[in-house]
Amino acid sequence: MEFHDYPLLSYQDLMLTVLQTAARGRATLQECLARLRHTLAAANERPPVSAADMLQRLNAAKVYLAEAMLLTPLDGNGFAITARGRSVLAEHPMGVDDTVLMQFPEFRRFILRTSEPPSHDDPRDREYEEGYEAYCDGKPPTENPYEFDRIEHLAWENGWFTARDDDTAAQRR
């Protein structure tokens, strides 16, 4: 059984479940699971998925939402929706996925940090990522720390301008 075989277990719907649960106040993954089960029952769906698998997927959704600053952790296992999370929920009542989360620089940095390294060993990838992060941190392109006539300078600059282009594209959505 694949999660994508069941629309209510899609990534977008799991994120929506977590946000909606948190919108009611302090939430836990167990409460998200209860809401998800209620939604499945209302749709007369009974996917052959264990509670542990559902919790694992709900937790992944929670992590992504927290990295985008849509959720904030609370004491214990609890979490709450942020003002940004409420805004996103209002703008996307049918669900949230990575295309929505990518508009936030914190989430883009998270993706950069956790993505697989390139298959080749090019030291300029580091400078590219530094430039990307510099833009996300609000630094101007004039803060490029590398000598102008070096490949590292160009890699840093490419990262900075890619981040700017990503940010501009996200703002248009």
pLDDT of residue 1: 47
Structure tokens at 129: 């990522």
Angle subtended by helix axes 51-67 and 29-42, to nearest 10: 120
pLDDT of residue 9: 77
> Which residue reads 């400078």 in tokens?
127
Residue range 3-92, CATH number: 1.10.10.10
| Amino acid symbol at 163 | A
pLDDT of residue 122: 61
pLDDT of residue 123: 59
pLDDT of residue 80: 96
Per-residue pLDDT of the chain (173 residues; tens, 9 = 90+): 455 556 677 888 899 999 999 999 999 999 999 999 999 889 888 888 888 988 999 999 999 999 999 999 998 889 999 999 999 999 999 889 888 999 999 998 898 888 766 555 565 788 898 999 999 999 999 999 998 888 889 899 999 999 998 888 877 76
